[in-house]
A and B are shown apart, each in its own frame.
Chain A
Amino acid sequence: MTLESISLHSLLPNRAVLAKGRVTSIQDQTDEDLMKAYRDGSMAAFEHLYGRHKGGVYRYFLRSTKEQADAEELFQDVWIKVVNAREDYTCSAKFTTYLYRIAHNRLIDFYRHKGSAQYALRDDSSEGDFEQFSDEESLESILQIEQQAMQVKEAISLLPALQRDALLLQLEGLLSLEDIATICDTTRETIKSRLRYALAKLKQQFEGELL
């Protein structure tokens, strides 16, 4: 089994593909069906859809911004965008891809607004260089993790932005490599590379603690 074959969709709760004409409960409906139902005026569909994705989107922002206030602001912005785009929603892609694309773009805007030097490192050519992980921040982070015994989620928060973004999209959004590549406007191989380096770094961080 390879990294790309780990389809996190298999870990999803039972999202049955609906046969046409079959009456199903709201729990059995896909995200796309729920969004279409909300577009047609069903508030219950929106509540259910929100319930499915609120945790993932919120934690995506929380790990990325490291500040609860910022995460809440971004989280609210994303859902308000979904609400405002309700009438124009067309099922051209998976809802999760649609949702996390909004979230990803909002996060980029946030970084730009904050003038984040971390996100300014967004250069695909440097991502393949393993030595990138030994930059000052990463080394410091590793030491910090080891010294303070930080948990995995905190270690993820300290990953370089691009790697963290790709890893969180997979962990929280349960998205495939293709979907993450679509959201990040890059290639599948680039995303695969980012994930590999992110995992390598996590492994490095926890190596001394592994059983």
Chain B
Amino acid sequence: MKSPINVSSETMKDDNIFKAVQEQYRQESHEQPSDRLEQVIFSAAQQSVGLSRVQQQKNGWVERWLPTLKFPAILAGASMMTLVVAQLILPLVQGPMGKSVNIERIVASPSAGVEYVDMDSLNSPLSESAISVPPSRVASGERKAKAIELFDMPESEVSQSQFEKASEKELERRVLEIKQLAQAGDFLSMNQKIAELQQRYPDFPIFEEIRPLLK
């Protein structure tokens, strides 16, 4: 059986031919792929989606937990950074000139008054100029030794002993001065000094000290 195209052949133009062919073609063409093919394709499509979902679930776990773990992770990172800076970088950055004085003590001295003693400067083999203490305030070797001794003593003992020694020396100086005035016969000045001494050291037997000189 023939399938005529219902248009006039004489006046047929391309578009009309096309329409006619299309119409005829659609009437005749109804073939479809088999169900078996469809199942194979759907199975592949389903598998692809399934695999993707598994991947998405894995990614989803990371996405869910990432905000929760972010803060602790940042905290841990910051702590580590601080430790690294403290342990490694700071010692490299600080040179000998910039090093801080670790111990500074105020030592009372009868001769030099109050004196600052840098313990690092005492122990360090470096020259005194390398230490950020003015030369005038740098203790001599003897004083340093004293200071070290004092440093090793308890604080209460240090101050008490130091003040006792200072007071003793002062007394000796005053007694010596009075004796000299007595020997010289300057009794007016001597009496004045005795009064001052008795005022400061009321228990000191000053008259017994000068009596042999007055005879």
A positions within 8 Å CB-CB of B: 1-3, 5-6, 8, 38, 41-43, 46-47, 50, 54-55, 58-59, 62, 72, 75-76, 79-80, 83-84, 86-87, 149, 151-153, 156, 167, 171, 195-196, 199-200, 202-203, 206-207, 209-211
B44 contacts partner chain A, Cβ-Cβ < 8 Å: yes
Taking a contact as CB atoms under 8 Å apart, the answer to whether A76 and B42 are in contact is no
Chain B 17-54: CB-based contact to A (< 8 A → 1; otherwise 0): 11101101100111111100110111011101100110
CB closest chain-B residue, reference A156: B25
The dominant DSSP class at the B interface is helix
Nearest-CB residue, chain B, relative to A49: B45
Q: A43-B45, A153-B25 are in contact. Are A203 and B12 (CB under 8 A)?
A: yes
Contacts of B213 in A (CB 8 A): none
> Given A153-B25, A203-B12, A203-B17, is A76 in contact with B37 using a C-beta cutoff of 8 Å?
yes
User: How many B residues have CB within 8 A of the partner chain?
Assistant: 39
B5 interface contact, C-beta 8 A:
yes
Say whether B4 faces chain A, with CB atoms less than 8 Å apart: yes
The answer for the CA separation of A17 and B18 in the assembled complex, in Å, is 27
Task: Decide yes or no whether B7 CB sits under 8 A from chain A.
Answer: yes
Q: Min CB distance, A95 to chain B, in Å? A: 15
Nearest A residue (CB) for B23: A152
Assembled-state Cα–Cα distance A153/B31 (Å): 11
B44 touches A80 (CB 8 A): yes
In the complex, which residues of chain B have a beta carbon less than 8 angstroms from the beta carbon of A171? Answer: 21-22, 25
Interface contact B9-A58, CB-CB below 8 Å: no
CB of B161 closer than 8 Å to a CB of A? no
Chain B residues lying within 8 Å of A167, measured Cβ to Cβ, are 21
**A5 near B15 (CB under 8 angstroms)?**
yes
